[in-house]
A and B are shown apart, each in its own frame.
Chain A
Amino acid sequence: MKPDADTTIESAAIGAGHDGAAELVVNLRYPNGTVGPVVLDADIGFALLRTCGADSLNELKGHSWRAILESLHDV
């Protein structure tokens, strides 16, 4: 593990939520090399795209996990 490495977005995909709504499944790559998911609703998902200036889900890759927290201000 690199001591100063940050957790970053590895990938993102659309999933089907339990309530019938589409949701954004964001996979984060942690400094130890492992990958884990966080599931965002439409409000936060779109805010994340805006925060990262991303036009597509692919463009979320490489952004810091902190972008997810920042995107909360846009909800």
Chain B
Amino acid sequence: MTLSKQRSFVTPGPGETVEQIAARALPGRPTQKAVDDIKSWNLHIFAMRRPPGLLTGSDVVFVEPPLG
């Protein structure tokens, strides 16, 4: 049974920042653009959480927009 394609994600390593995640997940993309993309795809972390942007080890961090 082949699984259908779903949205790709990574989980943060210990102490990893959004900049570090952006760099490893979106290599070659300008830093600020990569960070903005990660944020816009992960508002469950960057808007809904208290404090906003607090990364925890169990987080799902999407590295692409919704697939539609």
Contacts and interface: CB of A to CB of B under 8 A. Distances in A.
Chain B interface size, as a band, is 10 to 19
A41 to B, nearest CB: 7
B24 interface: no
B65 A72 contact: no
Contact of A36 (B47, B52, B66): B66
A54 B47 CA distance: 19
A39 interface: yes
Interface in B29-58: 39-41, 43-44, 46-48, 52
B66 A35 contact: yes
Interface of A: 7, 28, 30-36, 38-41, 44, 65, 68-69, 72
20 contacts: A7-B40, A7-B65, A28-B43, A31-B65, A34-B67, A34-B68, A35-B68, A38-B44, A38-B47, A38-B48, A39-B48, A40-B48, A41-B48, A44-B48, A65-B43, A68-B43, A68-B47, A69-B46, A69-B52, A72-B47
